[in-house]
Structure 1
Amino acid sequence: MNKTELIDHIAKHADISKAAAGRSLDALVGAVKSTLKKNGTVTLVGFGTFAVTARAARTGRNPRTGEAIKIKKAKVPKFRPGKALKDAVN
């Protein structure tokens, strides 16, 4: 499912216009991004939790040359699914 299909699904099930559904989805994504940027977490009960974790610096290899390269430390977003989502998938 892509963004357009998700907007169509939201509009149909929430009985709102596609424009309103698009704005709602953009607001949700924006809120998650801004919270994660501040190192916060977003928990949606029954769905899961979005959080930021630190990835340590490490040594990698260039696949073409095999040369060792240094990979900088980074903050990466993570998603941990909730129990209800896991149960729905299984």
Structure 2
Amino acid sequence: MREAAVAELVELFGLTVRQLREQQHWSQEELAARSELNRSYVGEVERGRVVASLATAQKLAAALELNLATLLVRCEQTGRHRIAQRINLAAIAS
């Protein structure tokens, strides 16, 4: 996988976690406590600055009351939504 593609995947995962956390009206501290992770680490994940391990992704999914597969599907949906936004912006700019 290309380096840029990996970076985008990490960013999308973090964005998805943040969106799901905000839908619950939780702070990063709340998600960190529920997932048994450090708050600053959760922030790094949300900002796409660290690559979450499968174990970490599972902890986050469980804390968000999702299974890991559903979290990953949501991540893919976020990616498709971003692509659609880029296409719409490009069409408007043309």
- TM exceeding 0.5: no
Q: Which has the larger radius of gyration?
A: 1
The structure with higher relative contact order (CA 8 Å, sep 6+) is: 2
Q: Which has more strand, going by share of residues? A: 1
Higher share in helix:
2
TM-score relative to the length of structure 2: 0.33
